[in-house]
A and B are shown apart, each in its own frame.
Chain A
């Protein structure tokens, strides 16, 4: 069965500092990995995805994520945080061999960037 773990409920960082939001996953086959961001009372916005290829994936708003197969991780990073990055971030995984296209989400990590 697929699962995603986001070990941190909240990450606090000062504006201008680098940020990392952690994610580890478990799938039986090869993974498709995604990061989404959610602002209050809104749906989820797609940030980036890993399918195949380079382990470092670049996405929207300056975010990037690194796929590490041996550690089964897909941590989200940004070199310099902005106050406007404060939101709820979700990591998600789909098994490449799953024809249902179901996406399984982690529990979410709240990012708080202080001025």
Chain B
């Protein structure tokens, strides 16, 4: 149980275009989802907390207009990288929580390459 599906697993796009990444909790309802970014050989950086039905809470230094997060339902959150630039190339990972005492369950990540 507690499966999180993230799509696409990899994407290549041209500079200036936008890319949408989907994160779904397949067998549980997730009132809260998190979006992380991971640079090569580095830890996960929390970008934002996504709550169903409300605006996302962004971490300091994360541009909310560049990284649009929508949590439209209890099983779906999306991250849209707008006007992507090569420096946005990274590994993006979503996660969802089932309950207060539960661990985070992670998607398999999306490798974004902006050319």
Report how far A42 CA is from B93 CA in the complex, Å: 9
Q: In the complex, what residue of chain B is closest to A92 when comparing beta carbons?
A: B104
Contact of B6 among A43, A90, A92 (CB under 8 A): A43
Counting CB contacts under 8 A, is B106 at the interface? yes
A-B contact count (CB 8 A): 56
Q: Using Cβ atoms and an 8 Å threshold, which residues of chain B touch A32?
A: 101
Report how far A39 CA is from B106 CA in the complex, Å: 13
Task: Identify which of residues 16-73 in chain A touch chain B, using a CB-to-CB cut-off of 8 Å.
Answer: 32, 34, 36, 41-46, 49, 51
Q: Using Cβ atoms and an 8 Å threshold, which residues of chain A touch B100?
A: 101
Give how many A residues have a beta carbon under 8 Å from the other chain's beta carbons: 22
Report how far A36 CA is from B109 CA in the complex, Å: 14
Task: Identify which of residues 78-115 in chain A touch chain B, using a CB-to-CB cut-off of 8 Å.
Answer: 90, 92, 100-108
Counting CB contacts under 8 A, is B32 at the interface? yes
Task: Kindly provide the distance from the CB of B52 to the nearest chain A CB, expressed in whole angstroms.
Answer: 13
Q: A41-B109, A101-B100 are in contact. Are A107 and B93 (CB under 8 A)?
A: no
Report the stretch among B11-19, B43-51, B67-75, B81-89 that lies at the interface. B43-51
Counting CB contacts under 8 A, is B105 at the interface? yes
6 pairs, A vs B, C-beta closer than 8 Å: A43-B93, A43-B95, A44-B44, A46-B106, A90-B43, A101-B104
Interface positions of B (Cβ within 8 A of A): 4, 6, 32, 34, 42-44, 46, 49, 57, 91, 93, 95, 97, 100-101, 103-109, 111
Interface positions of A (Cβ within 8 A of B): 32, 34, 36, 41-46, 49, 51, 90, 92, 100-108
